[in-house]
Structure 1
Amino acid sequence: MKPPAFDFLRPDTVAEVLDTLARHGGAAVLLGGGQSLVPMLNMRLSRPAVLIDTLRLTQTAVIEDRGDTIRVGMGVRQAQLEHWPALPRRLPLLARAIPWIGHVQTRARGTVCGSVAHADPSAELPLCLLALGGHVHLRSRRKTRDLPADQFFAGMMSTARAEDEMIEAVSFPAAPPGTGHAFREVARRHGDFAIAAVAGIVGPAGATLAIAGVDDIPRRFALPAPGDSALDDALDGIAWTLNARDDLHASARYRRELVRRLGRAVLEEAAACRI
């Protein structure tokens, strides 16, 4: 299939992008890496009047280490973050999760902020952003605002971004000392959408488990640390709290069982690799 007709713009400045969004609102769509958007255009699941290609905005392809947080600009491709030398030390959860995203070819094109904006409930980057308690930095012609990840994701492929806003950057808290991180997912094949994905963080204050692929949005939970007798009951309660669904890939029951098994395994691994 071919996409419906649309106007194509390739601006040279962020100001031009914001002006276009202000004029066209929901009729305009930003094109970052296009790994999700282009197939949706071809299947006519997305029908924008204006497509804004951000390829020329090289000034936004910057990773900034700000001490407590790592700020990733809208132009940063997933491969750029994957090969950032400080990633294993500063963001160990992402160092473990990014190799699970699609394939080498798609990571070379796809952007970090584009994945967050797309808000696929199975996606690894929104899951990591939520697990770490990161923020989404939004900008329009009128103002800027920051939203915690748990306030940004509103539903399946739905977010709190206003029609005249773009994601200027996302920020991830850097890993503090004494914290361990782990990531696992199950898919039919490597690179496929996750049937279930889990991110675990264990620190002095306890454990955090974030889950994707099971509910309409990624979910985050505070849990007892591995070794606590209450952990299994807590995981069982979480599995039944999630709005798991049946589809062509797996049943809701199977997804809940993955939450129990992967959840325990990922928290034990995170506890074992605390730094």
Structure 2
Amino acid sequence: MKPPAFDYSRPTSTREAVNVLAELGEDGNVLAGGQSLLPLLNMRLAAPRNLVDINAVTELDYLRVTPDGVRVGALSRHSALERSDDAARVQPLLRQAVRLVAHATIRNRGTTVGSIVHADPSGEMTAVLSLLGGSVRVAGSAGERTVPAEDFFLGPLESAVRPGELAVEAFFPARTPGSGSSFTEISRRHGDYAVCGVGAVVELDADLRVCGARAAFLSISPTPLVLDLAEVVHGRSFDDTAIEELSAYVQARIDPQPDIHATAAYRSHLAGALTLRAVREAARAAADLERTV
């Protein structure tokens, strides 16, 4: 398998990259980690006229951790996020999810921002950004804009990054006091895209009772789906959150589609079962964190 012919640019600064993309418009396609793009090129499912390789734009290779959250530059690799103890301390869900992204070899090359811009509804980091209410900073010839997660994913493999723009940073808010998180998924083989996955965040009050809960789902809808679960689990003890009502609540609010990997009924069953697991684990994590404070 060989990719179609294309022109190639390798800018060395963000400004140069934005100028090149602005000139190319719809004919330009950004290459960062390439772990999603290159297979599409080789299978000729994508045929960009120009590839703009940003791997020489070293100013975008950063991971900045503050009390407010974690900022991930466009060239920061999944592996850097996975290894960062500071990022895991400020927002544990990041490490919980990124360790499930494909294989270690791919995480060493693939970029977190690139994965988010790829907007695959089976992608772990798209779900994390949506669940945490994060945002993506985008640069263009007219300046920069920040797009909240709820507006960023427009459809399968379609994000709010416009032709001529470059996604330069993703922001993940910090863990809120009293909260815990968990991420779990089922795949046919280790490293495959998930047949179904669930990330959960649970908030506890001072008595270690649930006061808030929400979950995000992989491979269930065309864009990342986030459900508020507080209606079902509010007021329950942290160790009493695995309840049958929660599974039924989730299954009544999703509409998974069948494919060669799973039927709709099987995906629905997995969504309910994995939600129970993720919420229970997140609640216990919240309780453990509060006990250590």
Question: TM bucket by the smaller chain?
Answer: over 0.9
Instruction: Please show how residues 180-199 of structure 1 align to structure 2 within 5 Å.
Output: 180-199=180-199
Query: How far apart, in 1, do the equivalents of 2:183 and 2:118 lie?
Result: 21
- The secondary structure found in structure 1 opposite 2:146 is strand
Query: How far apart, in 1, do the equivalents of 2:189 and 2:91 lie?
Result: 26
Name which of structure 1's ranges 125-134 and 229-238 shifts more when overlaid on structure 2. Answer: 229-238
- The secondary structure found in structure 1 opposite 2:168 is strand
Instruction: Please show how residues 1-275 of structure 1 align to structure 2 within 5 Å.
Output: 1-204=1-204, 205-224=211-230, 225=233, 227=236, 232-233=244-245, 235-274=247-286, 275=289
Name which of structure 1's ranges 221-230 and 161-170 shifts more when overlaid on structure 2. Answer: 221-230
Name which of structure 1's ranges 229-238 and 1-10 shifts more when overlaid on structure 2. Answer: 229-238
State the Cα distance separating 1:211 from its structure 2 match: 0.6
Query: How far apart, in 2, do the equivalents of 1:45 and 1:104 lie?
Result: 25
CA shift digits 1:128-177 (9 cap, x unpaired)? 11111111111101121111111100111011111121111000001122
State the Cα distance separating 1:235 from its structure 2 match: 3.9
Mark the runs of 5 or more structure 1 residues left unpaired by the alignment.
none
Query: How far apart, in 2, do the equivalents of 1:142 and 1:69 lie?
Result: 27
State the Cα distance separating 1:67 from its structure 2 match: 2.2
Aligned residues: 275
Mark the runs of 5 or more structure 2 residues left unpaired by the alignment.
205-210
State the Cα distance separating 1:58 from its structure 2 match: 1.2
CA RMSD of aligned residues (A): 1.6
- Kindly indicate whether the alpha-carbon contact (under 8 Å) linking 1:196 and 1:211 is maintained by their aligned counterparts in 2: yes
- Kindly indicate whether the alpha-carbon contact (under 8 Å) linking 1:135 and 1:170 is maintained by their aligned counterparts in 2: yes
- The secondary structure found in structure 2 opposite 1:241 is coil
State the Cα distance separating 1:51 from its structure 2 match: 0.1
Query: How far apart, in 2, do the equivalents of 1:139 and 1:236 lie?
Result: 43
Letter in 2 for 1:19: N
- Kindly indicate whether the alpha-carbon contact (under 8 Å) linking 2:67 and 2:90 is maintained by their aligned counterparts in 1: no
Query: How far apart, in 1, do the equivalents of 2:76 and 2:262 lie?
Result: 33
Letter in 2 for 1:266: A
Q: Structure 1 122/229 Cα, relative in aligned 2: closer, same or farther at 3 Å?
A: closer
Letter in 2 for 1:158: E
**TM-score, normalised relative to structure 1:** 0.96
Post-superposition, which runs of at least 4 consecutive aligned residues in structure 1 deviate over 6 A? 228-231
Name the counterpart of 2:207: none
- Kindly indicate whether the alpha-carbon contact (under 8 Å) linking 1:3 and 1:41 is maintained by their aligned counterparts in 2: yes
Query: How far apart, in 1, do the equivalents of 2:188 and 2:149 lie?
Result: 28
Letter in 2 for 1:260: G
- Kindly indicate whether the alpha-carbon contact (under 8 Å) linking 1:155 and 1:217 is maintained by their aligned counterparts in 2: yes
Q: Structure 1 229/51 Cα, relative in aligned 2: closer, same or farther at 3 Å?
A: closer
- The secondary structure found in structure 1 opposite 2:34 is coil
Name which of structure 1's ranges 82-91 and 206-215 shifts more when overlaid on structure 2. Answer: 82-91
CA shift digits 1:13-70 (9 cap, x unpaired)? 1111111111111210000110010000011111111101111111111111232121
- Kindly indicate whether the alpha-carbon contact (under 8 Å) linking 1:240 and 1:256 is maintained by their aligned counterparts in 2: no
Letter in 2 for 1:63: L
CA shift digits 1:65-106 (9 cap, x unpaired)? 232121111110000111112132112111111111111100
CA shift digits 1:190-239 (9 cap, x unpaired)? 10010011001001441011111111111101112374899644542432
Letter in 1 for 2:282: A
Q: Structure 1 63/248 Cα, relative in aligned 2: closer, same or farther at 3 Å?
A: same
Letter in 1 for 2:256: A
- The secondary structure found in structure 2 opposite 1:96 is helix
